[in-house]
């Protein structure tokens, strides 16, 4: 990690203070060591005085120093002893010995006892204050009301629209902002003005922050970047002060862009009974609303914000005149994924067999961040096998790594568990190959992966789907229960715990069919589920709003859907038992099977009402 100049200055200051202190201590030790002074007991001193061996004495507050007529056995003539009797002066004077007084410490003693500790404490205090100030952003407690925005000048931003792919509609919307920042006068020749605030909404990882940086890079203006959580502190009023300071800095640097990431941390809808920390958040939000009302977009300050939870934002924040425009940055479709892959493969060496269109077809639902991670994982896989280029097999391994988890080669299954797992996974695969509207099977494996999976059946869609019918959802339930149905068929109903995750996912689909999509005639065409989050996955423990009687009807409808799916899967496997047995033997021998290696997995699936194939 690169060392900052301020860090180097602090380190040099600490080294200088420490070296100075050690130097003074060394000087004192040297003076003490090389002075020809003998430390003697006070009783010996009295004897020497009585014998007339002392020629000169200097009396201090705590010690008595002097010189002798003759040398001591070690050759020294100077001595020092601790003062015991202050009335000794009379006896010395009677013997004709010169007596003089001295202060308790000299200049060096004073320096070492007072000045040096003070300097050391001051140096430590300065060092700690600077470090605390660095962590606080712009100077510690004295600058707690200052904005923590990271300021990127024109030369710092290397991102342009060429680096952003898969979100063409969003880029088109933001081109107007770039045009305004480059030439405000011509943009407003018909009286139009750029929106005060633009809110980028979309799932995590779709490139909202990257788009904001690309706008600043295209326009060539300063870019103020800050997270919504950085406004709120434990001190009341700090958030509002930081909002004021941020907009004040932006006005001085106009034209520029202010980008607030994770706006939902700051702009959450206000509550009528807010107390404590929530009240501080409301003050910060009120200040942001006031700033949005107060600044003129013609001044060259554009406010961009990003969130993946627009449904919880305060309505006052989204009204016209504040965040005038909302730009959707959604998951890319297949063409968008191809464009994103083309951007990221520039950084790696790919082999001739890499088909980006095919990879895009296998990555339905991936965001831009997921695809960037996929490219990196494929490059790591190629590096691990000492390859010169990244091949299509490396991309396939990377997809499996992301979707199913890492292989657990150390987890060794006994023969019975391997056989049961093989029947379970082949049951999934054959049911999927027998029903329409189900994603085709790519691979079946009994190699343990992830946290608890003893095997997996990989299905990847061939096209993007935006609507699902009742029959298609029922078919998905049947595929999920195909593993349990295979165990029931082969082991005479003695099933295992391997279907735990399958049951959870099947129950979720059935529950949504009944409570969210109104697909059960008995329960009725109304919704009982809470309002879902737009871009975030729904929680599994969502409370169903229904009476006790209706709740029982919902439970019965969900159970019926799951039982029907289990029975359909059982009937399919009963008819295709020979293929099931053959597939299991081949899977146990090879551990991994693809659709090309086992013909029944790539059999043509019937189209129509979703009934099982014969």
Beta pairing partners, 79? 38, 66
Q: Please, what sign has the CA dihedral across residues 440, 444, 449, 451?
A: positive
Please give the Cα distance from 162 to 159 (Å, whole number): 8
- The verdict on whether 400 is a catalytic residue reads no
Q: Please, what sign has the CA dihedral across residues 327, 330, 335, 340?
A: positive
Cα separations in angstroms, 99 against 35, 43, 48, 58: 21, 18, 15, 6
Helix, strand, coil content of the chain in percent (nearest 5): 50, 10, 35
Please give the Cα distance from 94 to 36 (Å, whole number): 28
DSSP 542-583: PPP---HHHHHHHHHHHHHHHHHHHHHHHHHHHHTHHHHHHH
Which of 414, 610, 577, 605 lies closest to 486 in space, CA to CA? 577
- Backbone φ and ψ for 37, nearest 5 degrees, come out as -120, 130
* Burial tier of 139 (Cβ tally within 10 Å: 0-12, 13-18, 19+): middle
Q: Are 559 and 477 in contact (CB under 8 A)?
A: no
Cα separations in angstroms, 340 against 15, 65, 207, 337, 396: 50, 88, 11, 5, 17
Please give the Cα distance from 301 to 299 (Å, whole number): 6
Catalytic residue, candidates 218, 425, 487, 579:
425
Residues identified as active-site: 425
């Amino acid at each position: 990690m690169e060392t900052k100049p301020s860090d180097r200055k602090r380190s040099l200051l600490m080294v200088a203070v420490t070296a100075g202190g050690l130097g003074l201590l060394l000087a004192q030790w040297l003076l003490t060591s090389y002075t020809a002074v003998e430390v003697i007991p006070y009783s010996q001193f009295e004897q020497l005085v009585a014998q007339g061996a002392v020629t000169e004495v200097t009396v201090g507050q705590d010690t008595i120093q002097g010189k002798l007529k003759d040398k001591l056995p070690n050759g020294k003539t100077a001595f020092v002893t601790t003062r015991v009797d202050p009335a000794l002066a009379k006896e010395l004077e009677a013997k004709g010995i010169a007596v003089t007084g001295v202060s308790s410490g000299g200049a060096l003693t004073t320096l070492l006892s007072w000045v040096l500790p003070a300097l050391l404490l001051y140096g430590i205090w300065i060092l700690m204050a600077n470090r605390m100030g660095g962590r606080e952003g712009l100077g510690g407690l004295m600058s707690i009301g200052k904005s923590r925005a990271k300021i990127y000048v024109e030369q710092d931003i290397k991102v342009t629209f060429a680096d952003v792919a898969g979100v063409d509609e969003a880029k088109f919307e933001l081109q107007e902002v770039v045009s305004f920042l480059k030439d405000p006068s011509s943009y407003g020749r018909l009286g139009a003005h750029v929106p005060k605030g633009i809110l980028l909404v979309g799932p995590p990882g779709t490139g909202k922050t990257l788009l904001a940086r690309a706008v600043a890079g295209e326009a060539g203006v300063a870019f103020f970047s800050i997270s919504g959580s950085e406004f709120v502190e434990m001190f009341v009023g700090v958030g509002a002060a930081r909002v004021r300071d941020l907009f004040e800095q932006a006005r001085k640097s106009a034209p520029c862009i202010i980008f607030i990431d994770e706006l939902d941390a700051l702009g959450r809808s206000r509550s009528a009974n807010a107390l404590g920390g929530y009240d501080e958040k409301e003050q910060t939000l009120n200040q942001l609303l006031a700033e949005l009302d107060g600044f003129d977009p013609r001044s060259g300050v554009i406010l961009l914000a990003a969130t993946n939870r627009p449904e919880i934002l305060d309505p006052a924040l989204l009204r016209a005149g504040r965040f005038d425009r909302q730009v959707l940055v959604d998951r890319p479709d297949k063409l968008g994924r191809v464009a994103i892959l083309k951007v990221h493969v520039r950084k790696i060496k790919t082999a001739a067999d890499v088909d980006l269109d095919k990879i895009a077809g296998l990555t339905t639902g991936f965001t831009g961040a997921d695809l960037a991670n996929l490219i990196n994982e494929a490059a790591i896989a190629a590096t691990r096998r000492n390859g010169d280029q990244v091949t299509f097999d490396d991309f396939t391994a990377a997809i499996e790594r992301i979707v199913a988890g890492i292989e657990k080669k150390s987890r060794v299954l006994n023969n019975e568990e391997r056989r049961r797992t093989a029947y379970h996974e082949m049951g999934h695969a054959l049911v999927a190959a027998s029903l329409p509207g189900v994603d085709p099977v790519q691979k079946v494996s009994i190699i343990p992966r992830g946290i608890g999976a003893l095997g997996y059946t990989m299905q990847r869609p061939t096209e993007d789907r935006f609507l699902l019918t009742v029959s298609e959802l029922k078919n998905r339930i049947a595929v999920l229960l195909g593993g349990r149905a295979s165990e029931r068929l082969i082991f005479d109903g003695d099933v295992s715990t391997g279907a735990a995750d399958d049951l959870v996912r099947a129950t979720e689909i059935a529950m949504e069919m009944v409570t969210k999509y109104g697909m059960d005639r008995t329960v009725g065409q109304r919704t009982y589920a809470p309002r879902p989050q737009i871009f975030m996955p729904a929680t599994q423990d969502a409370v169903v709003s229904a009476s006790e009687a209706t709740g029982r009807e919902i439970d019965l409808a969900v159970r019926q859907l799951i039982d029907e799916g289990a029975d359909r899967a059982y009937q399919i496997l009963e008819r295709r038992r020979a293929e099931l047995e053959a597939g299991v033997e081949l899977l146990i021998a090879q551990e991994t099977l693809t659709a090309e290696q086992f013909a029944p997995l790539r059999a043509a699936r019937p189209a129509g009402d979703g009934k099982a194939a014969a």
